A and B are shown apart, each in its own frame.
Chain A
Amino acid sequence: MAASSPRNPPPLRGAENQDPLSEMADEDSDEGEDIFVGNSNPVAESFQPDTANGEEPADLFSEEETSTAVNSSITTFKSNGVHSDNENDLFAEVSVELSMENPSTTAKTSGAEFTPSLTLSATQPRSMEQVGYNRTSATQPRSMEQLEEEKDEDSFDMDVAVTNPEKIGDGMNAYMAYKVSTRTTLPMFRNRTFSVWRRFSDFLGLYEKLSVKHSLNGCIIPPPPEKSVVGMTKVKVGKEDSSSADFVERRRAALERYLQRVVCHPSLLQDPDVREFLERDELPRAVGTHTLSGAGFLKMINRASDAVSKMTIKISYSDAWFDNKLQEVESEDLQLRKLHAVVDSLVNHRKELCGNTAVFAKSMAMLGNSEDNTALSRALSQLAEVEDKMETLHQEQAASDFFILAELLADYIRLLGAVRGCFEQRMKTWQRWQEAQSTLQKKREVEAKLLWANKPDKLQQAKEEITEWEGKVTQYERDFDRISVTVRKEFLRFEKEKSKDFKSQIVKYLESLLQSQQRLVMFWEAFLPEAKAIA
């Protein structure tokens, strides 16, 4: 009802906070006043998960949405003393919640971006309630939101590093322990700087705990690096060669990036398990990680159940924004895999070049030795030295290709998998809601039949079941809305992170290329006079 009326966005800034409220009062006078008077009740109750409240909160929220959906500048909505704190909290959360989406969506400068939020209000009148619920379930709702939208880059007062891989133990029971150091100014930690020792299975354990808790909410949980039986066995056996050193370094870097992504994520950072991981001296051994790595395990389970349900869902449900994004993710995944394969090929060819250059350098040195013209002999030896230096250069370049570029791509291929998982999670939630609705429908039909057949005792039971399922439908709908909001928010955050990550890593890579070329120039400039001196 309120959705149909176009309204000019009230120019909202601090003092004018009252405008949406007063305008609302004008528009739907009766209900408006009722709402304001009876405000505290719905507010208080809205924080309970399973409220059976009927129409009032719904009306309130639907009106709220239209006013706030239109105007994105309500971000600075602060509490003022005019209305009760509860009211303001509610409205503030409402407005801030929606507008959090809007700035990022308006950044894409398409009017179409507004439709999702409007459809939200049209079809799911309780969404704001759920939002309110969601917000307060986190420890510091508003400050966290403000943190998210106001900061442009990570002004995170949080640094984690994974260093000093050390081999503990011997033989097949040996493992690598990594030092996890944290430096932070966040008050939730006991100290400002601290470090603990962790092993790989601890990281996997952390991932599994986070998955269990948060993936159902639609959070994109960064996946940890993969297990490698071959790699680890070499290390355990004690093979002291460059390949096992490479493996350890690769794993250490991957673990560090994994942790950095986890602590960058505002919701995950609040999780006590993360805190425990970073702070606690002795962690109980993570079990169940010894057979499969977490990401693969979850995926396996999800894939199996999704195969069939995906078919039916695509036909009946379509939400442009989510569909588009999923498509984008899938095509990006394809391209990233392709790119990763090519970068891998480049790494291999560079390593090959490195080896061939070394061999050639030796051969050149030999030739220089046989040459009986002294100046030419010297020049050839110098050339051999230049080629030797090139070998080192190629080796470093290959390492840079790998550690900067290839690993970045591998990380994002895994992350995109997690994003897909998120979208699928949302689908499952929708499906559950739809199924509940159809069950409710069936129960109602049963009730109708019983009424007709006039069986009072069974009727009572039927009525109870209906109530139960009505509750479920409400619950599932709320879940769906909540997860939709979360997924959307998570996705936008992910896009931002990804954009930043790619830019910074590629710039780093180009800088390493630059350095290589500078050194090349140096080498050849040193050689040129030697060549000219040949007589």
Chain B
Amino acid sequence: MMQEGLDDGPDFLSEEDRGPRAVNVDLQTDATLQVDISDALSERDKVKFTVHTKSTLPNFKQNEFSVVRQHEEFIWLHDSFVENEEYAGYIIPPAPPRPDFDASREKLQKLGEGEGSMTKEEFTKMKQELEAEYLAIFKKTVAMHEVFLCRVAAHPVLRKDLNFHVFLEYNQDLSVRGKNKREKMEDFFKNVVKSADGVLVAGVKDVDDFFEHEKTFLLEYHNRVKDASAKSDRMIRSHKSAADDINRIASTLYTLGTQDSTDVCKFFLKVSELFEKTRKIEARVAADEDLKLADLLKYYLRESQAAKDLLYRRGRALVDYENANKALDRARAKNKDVLQAETSQQVCCQKFEKISESAKQELIDFKTRRVAAFRKNLVELAELELKHAKGNLQLLQSCLGVLKGDT
């Protein structure tokens, strides 16, 4: 399926890509609110996503509508969730990564510069390769933005968020600008403080076994997923390089084959043709591994981070609660500002309990989602690997049959 899509020229999103492309997450589509990215346009350094919503909820003016959004607006939405105290007890769906076409664009540029130094066929071939690469990156970024929206839409609480509705419906520019330097610095410091705090908070032993277990588990899991993600990237890159080499072998064999019409030359031509086909398959294998394995790992890297963030928030709330208890005891002892201390303590208690309750459910859901996503992707990975290996096998068998028959 993806193969046809990749072979398309300028039409970036082909028919079969419509519909929720929930690659890494197993989501039930709910008729009351369905969100997807129906189209996308890549301009020089921006990608414009067309967010399409279908809803029976009364909150919206229409039942079906679309708006155009850019990456910064997604980030704004995500940040608004994170900063909202009400949502402290939920795993905030991780923000989609920024679309990064730099590497691909650079390669296309280099190709354009080097056009004079290679033959017409080589140039056309390489151009097609790079365009396919660009397209693949493009499709990935669309998928990742879509997954974010789908996760929000599927969440019982977040889907009701006002900012989310504005995001979906408001058909003017949200005037969200990317963070300027100062804000970025602020963010940086906030993160430093947070991680220092996180260490402190993590050190506090939790009374609740469930959360204690989750804490240990998530910490280890997150680190290992990070490692696996990096290593899978490297492996897939080598695979792509090998496929590229096979491509060049095919070209050189073709040149050798066209120099004469002896039977060894005809032999070369047939082998060249074979390699052309097998390397297409090899490239697809690498692309599918990327999609089903590397992307899966990357996504769960981000999700496990979001889960860790939740635990941190709960841990913070716990510390605040315990501090409030201590303050209340002190106030009672001194018999001063007792009421204030009591209210403060109650607030902290409520906050902590609310977070704990929803966090438990969120973490259980996270586990379920994770297992389902891994299952789906591993099964699909195995099926695709088999399909490609069998395809390769068939090509090799038929080519060998022809070659051996000739000699």
Contacts and interface: CB of A to CB of B under 8 A. Distances in A.
Nearest to B281: A517
A503 B381 CA distance: 36
Interface string B267-304: 11001001000100000000000000000000000000
24 contacts: A345-B248, A346-B245, A356-B231, A359-B235, A360-B235, A363-B228, A363-B231, A364-B228, A372-B217, A380-B374, A495-B262, A499-B264, A503-B264, A503-B403, A507-B400, A507-B407, A514-B393, A517-B390, A517-B396, A521-B389, A524-B385, A528-B382, A531-B379, A534-B371
Interface stretch (A259-267, A293-301, A309-317, A334-342): A334-342
Interface string A480-502: 00000000000000010011001
A396 to B, nearest CB: 14
Contacts of A353: 235, 238-239, 241-242
A495 B278 CA distance: 29
Rank and list the top 3 A-B pairs by shortest CB-CB distance, nearest first.
Answer: A353-B238, A346-B245, A534-B375
B187 interface: no
Contacts of A339: 249, 252-253, 256
A428 interface: no
A202 B157 CA distance: 84
Interface stretch (B58-66, B108-116, B219-227): B219-227
Interface string B170-204: 00000000000000000000000000000000000
Given A353-B235, A520-B389, A335 B252 contact: yes
Nearest to B367: A373
B259 interface: yes
Contact of B375 (A356, A372, A502, A531): A531
A342 B252 contact: yes
B260 A349 contact: no
A331 interface: yes
Nearest to B379: A531
Interface string B115-153: 000000000000000000000000000000000000000
Interface string B78-110: 000000000000000000000000000000000
Interface in A189-238: none
A237 to B, nearest CB: 32
Contacts of A320: none
Given A503-B264, A518-B393, 16 more contacts: A338-B252, A346-B245, A346-B246, A346-B249, A350-B238, A352-B238, A356-B234, A356-B235, A359-B234, A360-B234, A499-B262, A510-B396, A525-B386, A527-B382, A534-B374, A534-B378
A328 interface: yes
Contact of B256 (A332, A359, A524): A332
Contacts of A524: 382, 385-386, 389
A491 B234 CA distance: 47
A363 B260 contact: no
Interface in B337-392: 367, 370-371, 374-375, 378-379, 381-383, 385-386, 389-390, 392
B306 interface: no
Contacts of B374: 376, 379-380, 534
A332 B389 contact: no
A380 B253 CA distance: 40
Given A356-B238, A364-B228, A534-B375, A499 B263 contact: yes
Nearest to B236: A356
Contact of A521 (B239, B371, B393, B397): B393
Contacts of B70: none
A274 to B, nearest CB: 28
Contacts of A514: 393, 396-397, 400
B232 interface: yes
B262 A328 contact: no
Interface of A: 328, 331-332, 335-336, 338-339, 342-343, 345-346, 349-350, 352-353, 356-357, 359-360, 363-364, 366-367, 370-373, 375-376, 379-380, 383, 495, 498-499, 502-503, 506-507, 510-511, 513-514, 517-518, 520-521, 524-525, 527-528, 531-532, 534-535
Contacts of A507: 400, 403-404, 407
A357 B237 CA distance: 11
Interface of B: 217, 220-221, 224-225, 227-228, 231-232, 234-235, 237-239, 241-242, 245-246, 248-249, 252-253, 255-256, 259-260, 262-264, 267-268, 271, 274, 278, 367, 370-371, 374-375, 378-379, 381-383, 385-386, 389-390, 392-393, 396-397, 399-400, 403-404, 407
Nearest to A366: B224
A189 to B, nearest CB: 31
B385 A379 contact: no
Contacts of A343: 245, 249
Contacts of A350: 238, 242
A506 B271 contact: yes
Contacts of A527: 382
A521 B390 contact: yes
Contacts of A521: 386, 389-390, 393
B228 A367 contact: yes
A503 B407 contact: yes
Contact of A342 (B220, B238, B249, B397): B249
A462 B344 CA distance: 131
A366 B245 contact: no
Contact of A517 (B237, B367, B379, B392): B392
A506 B235 CA distance: 27
Contacts of B252: 335, 338-339, 342
Of A346, A383, A511, most buried by chain B (CB within 10 Å of CB) is: A346
Contact of A366 (B228, B263, B390, B396): B228
A371 B396 contact: no
Given A372-B217, A373-B367, A349 B238 contact: yes
Contacts of A364: 228
A96 B173 CA distance: 91
Given A350-B242, A352-B241, A517-B396, A360 B221 contact: no
Contacts of B390: 517, 521
Nearest to B395: A517
Contact of A328 (B234, B259, B278): B259
A495 B389 CA distance: 36
A78 B390 CA distance: 57
A527 B241 CA distance: 26
Contacts of A363: 224, 227-228, 231-232
Contacts of B249: 339, 342-343, 346
Given A356-B234, A499-B264, A332 B259 contact: yes
Given A499-B264, A510-B403, A528-B383, A345 B393 contact: no
Contacts of B220: 370
B287 to A, nearest CB: 15
A531 B264 CA distance: 46
A513 B255 CA distance: 23
